[in-house]
Structure 1
Amino acid sequence: MTIIAAADGSALGNPGPAGWAWYVDDDCWHAGGWKESTNNRGELMAVLDLLDSTAGVDEDLKVFCDSKYVINALTKWMPGWKRKGWKKADGKEVLNKDLLERLDTALTGREIEFEWVKGHNNHAMNEAADERARAAATAYQKNTSVPAGPGYVPAGTSESITAPAAPSAESDSAAAATTVVSCTVPTHIADELVSRAQAQGIHPQEFLAEIIGRSLENE
């Protein structure tokens, strides 16, 4: 089988409050962002998080993107940039090098098909990803809770929780150090995690990250 997803980024000001999101369906999507970043970083991060979230899944992946920059960077330009030490033809360092290096690693060994779609042109999956990326950017702009979504939910399973390895980052540089970890748990455990997170007024992802952090500190 092939996982089919759309990935998109959004920035309110470019740079400004920014968001990213990938979308498979209403039960399988993930979003995040930063207080200040660019649209291109959002576009790249959406693909990176999608790759990280599906890293343990033995299926091919097809990604719809409305960013030719992302598609060209990952399928055409990256080999040349790497040969030149992540430098462009003018000798200057490639923009967004940190994310591109992580994407290079995440793409290794994966069968990925990228397809460009025109943004805001009634492509249902692209529109869904765009709406979620913009909602994340708006949440950072208004300093409200980010609608992060359920994460990757493998087909045929009851629940999956995709959680950052650390609490939500407040800056672009801190977010770049975030690693996504996916695990599948029984529905009653997932429901309990959601219930406890809601009682504390935080997202289940952040609640799970805190549990993991406390467990590591106590080792």
Structure 2
Amino acid sequence: MSTFTEGSSGLRRVVHCDGACIGNPGPGGWAATIKVMDGDQEISRTQVVGSEPAQTTNVRMEMSGAIGALRVLREADDTPVAVFCDNELVSRGMNEWLSGWIARGWRTAAKKPVANQDLWQELVALTAGRSITWHWVKGHAGDPYNEEVDALANAAAAHALQRSQSA
């Protein structure tokens, strides 16, 4: 469960994000919920959703969910943020690989260009100077917050498919 922050004191923001594609590549959608918490009490909740009717990928949509949430928080104070996503590439990229990619000029350890560099660079810009922790949560395993954003992302992807078919 992604409720590790229960029992924490003080103000913090908790983000759950997800992405979905119909086909991979295909039309896609992303979603995030942003909860403002004071201790165990939820003060407010915001949902952000977006889609891409053009050919996109699951990973790009997963990253877009995190970006969408962090864009909303861009002007927020320096309250700590915990981001939960069910894509290990996103959480491990932010926690483990990012500094190496940057040091190697956006190359992987195998000296290949980092995929989705544009989105990684946007994440770097949105997280600069912020207290943000990244957490992986197993998808489709009953976590209610992950299930919520998964449903929203899939609905956004379905909407993107409809838009692409009517274009």
TM-score, reference length from structure 1: 0.63
Q: Residue type of the partner of 1:121? A: A
Report the counterpart of residue 23 of structure 1 in structure 2: 33
Asked if structure 1 preserves the Cα contact closer than 8 Å seen for 2:33 and 2:149, the reply is: yes
Alignment of 1:12-161 (within 5 A): 12-24=22-34, 28-35=46-53, 36-58=55-77, 59-143=79-163
Report the counterpart of residue 21 of structure 2 in structure 1: 11
State the distance in 2 between where 1:24 and 1:88 align.
31
Larger Rg: 1
Greater strand proportion: 2
Asked if structure 1 preserves the Cα contact closer than 8 Å seen for 2:28 and 2:52, the reply is: yes
Asked if structure 2 preserves the Cα contact closer than 8 Å seen for 1:15 and 1:39, the reply is: yes
Q: For this pair of structures, how many residues does the alignment match? A: 145
- Report which structure shows greater RCO (CA 8 Å, sep ≥6): 2
Q: Residue type of the partner of 1:6? A: H
Please state how far the C-alpha of 1:17 moved relative to its aligned partner: 0.9
State the distance in 2 between where 1:42 and 1:50 align.
12
Runs of 5+ consecutive residues of structure 1 not aligned to the other structure: 145-169, 171-219
Please state how far the C-alpha of 1:76 moved relative to its aligned partner: 0.8
Runs of 5+ consecutive residues of structure 2 not aligned to the other structure: 1-10, 36-43
Asked if structure 2 preserves the Cα contact closer than 8 Å seen for 1:7 and 1:126, the reply is: yes
State the distance in 2 between where 1:57 and 1:66 align.
24
Please state how far the C-alpha of 1:89 moved relative to its aligned partner: 2.3
Percent sequence identity over aligned pairs:
34
State the distance in 2 between where 1:60 and 1:89 align.
31
Spell out, residue by residue over 1:140-160, the C-alpha distance to the aligned partner (whole angstroms, 9 max, x if none): 11128xxxxxxxxxxxxxxxx
Report the counterpart of residue 39 of structure 2 in structure 1: none
- Which runs of 4 or more aligned residues in structure 1 lie more than 4 Å from their structure 2 counterparts after TM superposition? none
Spell out, residue by residue over 1:17-67, the C-alpha distance to the aligned partner (whole angstroms, 9 max, x if none): 111110136951001121220010011111111111111112111111111
TM-score, reference length from structure 2: 0.82
Q: Please, what is the CA RMSD of the aligned residues?
A: 1.7
Tell me, what secondary structure is at the counterpart of 2:134?
strand
State the distance in 2 between where 1:2 and 1:34 align.
30
State the distance in 2 between where 1:90 and 1:116 align.
24
State the distance in 1 between where 2:158 and 2:75 align.
31
Q: Residue type of the partner of 1:45? A: S
State the distance in 2 between where 1:113 and 1:82 align.
19
Please state how far the C-alpha of 1:117 moved relative to its aligned partner: 1.1
